[in-house]
Amino acid sequence: MENQPALNWTLRNEIPVPQDVLALLAEGEQAVASFQTFRDSATFTTKRLIVKDAQGITGKKVEIYSLPYSSINMWSSENAGGILDRDGEIELWTRAGHIKVKLGKGADVRRIDSLIAWAVLNSH
């Protein structure tokens, strides 16, 4: 297992599914839950995790990451256990590499962990 994550994302509070994400869905795919990220959103669907990342000063350029659940080999979740814990973290080991997902204020580590468990265990 490598030391440096290939990607580093931060999820914050849960939000309504952004309308522009709906245009990215494949036939039969449905959005399940979305979370605010530093500059955009991360959406769990029935098939994958879609992370939109606004780029540049204006944020008009948007990079979109699509992580199929079938590519996740293992994951871990960590938090300090406190009610106001702001240092939660999810790590994903995938075919594409190691991804670290930090959980900011308002993100529920148990909710996100259960979404990943549901997604990965139902995708195989």
Measure the CA–CA gap between 47 and 51, rounded to whole angstroms.
13
Secondary structure tally for the chain: helices H, strands E? 2, 9
Contact in structure between 42 and 11 (CB atoms under 8 Å): yes
Reduced to 3 states (helix: H, G, I; strand: E, B; else coil), residue 3 is coil
Q: What is the pLDDT of residues 42-100, one digit of tens each?
A: 999 999 999 998 877 776 788 899 999 999 999 998 876 655 556 688 999 998 889 99
Its pTM stands at 0.85
CATH number for the segment(s) 7-123: 2.30.29.50
Listed in order, strand segments (DSSP E) in the chain are 7-11, 14-15, 31-36, 41-45, 48-55, 61-68, 72-78, 88-94, 97-103
